[in-house]
């Protein structure tokens, strides 16, 4: 059984990572979703293999006087999942005769 399709918020998070937003706070800004939502989605995406994450060197965070950041990148599986989500969103709800090129003249 395949997992259910991803939702809109998850697709937005994947798109943000694809667009170069690499850490949680940056992804929250890009998507407009709060930390509780974004970090849950990031965890789930990482467990599914759609993104890969790594912690930055602690010395960088200490030098900048902030908490360490976890940086994410899209995996090939994540790119494929995002493409599927975009195609679902762009697909018409029901094919119209014009879209299919079968419109009959009256």
Structural domain harbouring 32: 8-88
Mean of all residue pLDDT scores within the chain: 87
DSSP 54: E
Tokens standing for residue 42: 């990031």
**52: helix, strand or coil:** strand
CATH of the domain at 84: 1.10.10.10
Contact predicate 70/54, CB 8 Å: yes
Per-residue pLDDT tens over the stretch 53-98 = 999 999 999 999 999 999 999 999 999 999 999 888 777 665 555 4
The reported pTM is 0.80
What is the total count of domains within the chain? 1
Residue with tokens 């939502």: 37
Q: CA 17, CA 31: separation in Å to the nearest integer?
A: 10
Residue 44: inside a domain: yes
DSSP 94: S
């Amino acid at each position: 059984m395949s997992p259910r399709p991803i939702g809109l918020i998850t697709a937005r998070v994947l798109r943000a990572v694809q667009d170069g937003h690499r850490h949680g706070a940056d992804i929250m800004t890009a998507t407009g979703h709060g930390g509780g939502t974004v970090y849950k989605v990031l965890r789930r995406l990482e467990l599914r293999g759609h993104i890969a994450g790594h912690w930055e060197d602690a010395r960088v965070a200490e030098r900048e006087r902030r908490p360490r950041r976890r940086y994410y990148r899209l995996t090939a599986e994540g790119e494929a999942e995002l493409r599927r989500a975009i195609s679902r969103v762009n697909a018409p709800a029901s094919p119209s005769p014009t879209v299919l090129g079968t419109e009959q003249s009256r």
